[in-house]
Amino acid sequence: MARPLVASIDKKFAAGSVWEHVYFILGDVSASRDPFAMLLARSDVRVERLVIVNDTAIATDPANHWTFVLTNRGTDGTGVTSLFAVNPTSDSDVAGAQAFAAFDAQVWTPDQNQEVALGAVLSLTITRTGAPADLGQLTVGLEFRQNT
């Protein structure tokens, strides 16, 4: 499986700075993906949004859906702390599920554990359940800011 292309900003935060971001261009995704690192925190940060864009419409469906799990792995890689009480999904049996419109950013705001310590790593796991449409030209991103 090919590694994702990364477009990121790598700079020190200034006091009162605007949000920063990192985006991964994953391309076509037709199967679940093992966790991959999305962010190595270079200072204490607060994660504000997970953004997902693809070129395929995905309906909400309880049997055929995608789920995205954003996890704080801590500084030693063993952490299992989710940033969402309910993970972003297209599973219609889950409150807050979203259908995906083609080329429309799906934006989820973490509702717990948003503060990430210096040196911690965030990973993303993508899980396919059943046979939903493939995620075409998938791009995923994190938006974050210095935790003040």
Mean pLDDT, rounded, of the chain: 88
Query: What's the pLDDT score for residue 96?
Result: 86
Residue 9, pLDDT above cutoff 50? no
Nearest Cα neighbor of 83 from 36, 115, 117 is 115
**Does 3 score more than 80 pLDDT?**
no
* 11 burial type by CB count under 10 A (0-12 exposed, 13-18 middle, 19+ buried): exposed
* Cα–Cα dist 46/31, whole Å: 30
Residue 46: the pLDDT is 92
Q: Is the pLDDT of residue 4 over 80?
A: no
8 A C-beta contact, residue 44 and residue 122: no
In this structure, how many other beta carbons lie within 10 angstroms of the beta carbon of residue 44?
Answer: 15
In sequence order, what are the residues at sequence separation of 6 or more whose Cβ sits closer than 8 angstroms to the Cβ of residue 141? 21, 22, 23, 24, 49, 50, 51, 52
Checking if the pLDDT of 30 tops 60, the result is: yes
Distance CA 121, CA 41 (A): 6
The predicted pLDDT at position 127 comes to 96
Question: What is the per-residue pLDDT for 31?
Answer: 95
pLDDT per residue as tens digits for the range 41-98: 988 999 999 999 999 999 999 999 999 999 999 999 999 999 999 999 999 999 889 9
> Does 139 have pLDDT greater than 90?
yes
pLDDT category of residue 18 using cuts at 50, 70 and 90? low
Contact 30, 134 (CB under 8 A): yes
Cα separations in angstroms, 46 against 39, 42, 80, 101, 103: 12, 12, 17, 28, 27
Q: Alpha-carbon distance 107 to 70, whole Å?
A: 13
Q: According to the model, what pLDDT value does residue 20 have?
A: 87
Q: What is the pTM of this model?
A: 0.86
